[in-house]
Amino acid sequence: MEVLSHAAIIARELGIPAITEVTSAMGMPDDALVKVDGTAGTITGSENR
């Protein structure tokens, strides 16, 4: 299922990378460290600060 968000549309118009709909991020604690690579389209995280 492909969902367009306002942020994704603006990012496309500006030619900048964007990552949306990261459902797996919902299970991470609020203080988790997260690395987002918009060019590669990857997100990695650690639950420990």
Domain that holds residue 34: 6-46
Calculate the CA dihedral of residues 9, 10, 13, 16 and round it to 10 degrees: -110
pLDDT at 14: 96
Domain for residue 38, yes or no? yes
Work out how many domains the chain is built from and give that number.
Answer: 1
Lookup: tokens for 3? 């969902």
Domain for residue 16, yes or no? yes
**pLDDT tens by residue, 1-49:** 456 688 888 988 999 877 777 777 777 788 888 888 877 878 787 766 5
Domain for residue 1, yes or no? no
pLDDT at 3: 63
pLDDT at 18: 76
pLDDT at 8: 83
Domain for residue 37, yes or no? yes
Domain for residue 31, yes or no? yes
pLDDT at 1: 47
